Amino acid sequence: MGLLECCARCLVGAPFASLVATGLCFFGVALFCGCGHEALTGTEKLIETYFSKNYQDYEYLINVIHAFQYVIYGTASFFFLYGALLLAEGFYTTGAVRQIFGDYKTTICGKGLSATFVGITYALTIVWLLVFACSAVPVYIYFNTWTTCQSIAFPSKTSASIGSLCADARMYGVLPWNAFPGKVCGSNLLSICKTAEFQMTFHLFIAAFVGAAATLVSLLTFMIAATYNFAVLKLMGRGTKF
């Protein structure tokens, strides 16, 4: 068997769905974790600088941010490892091994391993749906703030007075209600929106949201492929090309 023919046989039996899902998973997790980490840091600086001068007002928020950042480190490590395992499982359930080394019979252990991956991936997909929904919350908050700034910058678009247009961090539960000042209004808010720090943090949260969406799509792809592969292994007793 020549090298070219060997490569062709491997490509024919390659798990293309798993390969695409793995690449999408790595991309999504890297985007979500990297941008999310920096966006949380930017939010901490904005709160400290503009919305509260009393450390006790945002001490709990800082602790939560730091906890989320540690969770991000663990999430990145776990998904990169799990994505590699799912890719390996995808190769296991293709016909590439059978075509090169001859027919093989799937063992009970192999079927059990495939079923385990199906269950874990299904559970992770449900959990990541919640993560995806939560990642939309800061985007919504920053978008509302940006919209308020646009109304201040173009007064003709609103009937309200500029001084009454505010961004209140307390309203979203970011700060306690007794925090002072807790909100920024009028031209002061507009000056915040024009800072590079606000713009960067806003766009980082959007990127993190896109990363969460990409990871969700990859998990759905993994789940469909793993379920199909397990069904074929169980019912037909042979590998697939999915």
Q: For 36-73, how does the pLDDT look when each residue is reduced to its tens digit (9 = 90+)?
A: 999 999 999 999 999 988 889 899 999 999 999 999 99
Residue 193 lies in a domain: yes
Where does the pLDDT of residue 99 fall: very low under 50, low under 70, confident under 90, or very high at 90 and above?
A: very low
Q: What 8-state DSSP symbol labels residue 168? A: E
Q: Is pLDDT above 70 for 8?
A: no
Find the helix packing angle between 16-46 and 196-235, rounded to 10°: 150
Give the angle subtended at the CA of 216 by the CAs of 214 and 220, to the nearest 5°: 120
Give a yes or no: residue 6 inside a domain.
no
- Does residue 4 fall inside a structural domain? no
Residue 46 lies in a domain: yes
Q: Retrieve residue 34's tokens.
A: 């990297």
User: Stretch 94-102: mean pLDDT, rounded?
Assistant: 46
Whether residue 28 contacts residue 180, with contact meaning beta carbons closer than 8 Å, is answered with no
Task: Return the pLDDT at 241.
Answer: 44
Is 8 part of any domain? no
Confidence of residue 196 (pLDDT cuts 50, 70, 90): very high
Contact 50, 192 (CB under 8 A): yes
190: in domain: yes
The confidence score (pLDDT) of residue 117 equals 84
* Percentage of the residues of the chain whose pLDDT score is greater than 70: 81
- Domains in the chain: how many in total? 1
Domain span including residue 52? 14-234
Between residues 166 and 12, the one the model is more confident about: 166
Distance CA(188)–CA(146), nearest Å, equals 13
How long a stretch of residues is the chain?
A: 242
Residue 57 carries which side chain, given as an amino acid letter?
A: D
DSSP state of 237: -
Residue 35: which of 149, 125, 110, 135 has the closest Cα?
Answer: 135
* 241 lies in some domain: no
Question: If you average pLDDT over residues 122-145, what whole number do you get?
Answer: 95
Residue with tokens 């192999």: 110
CB 193 within 8 A of CB 141: no
124 inside domain: yes
Q: Looking at the DSSP assignment, which residues form a beta bridge with residue 167?
A: 184
Contact 233, 106 (CB under 8 A): yes
Give the whole-angstrom CA distance, residue 19 versus residue 10. Answer: 13
pLDDT above 90: residue 102 = no
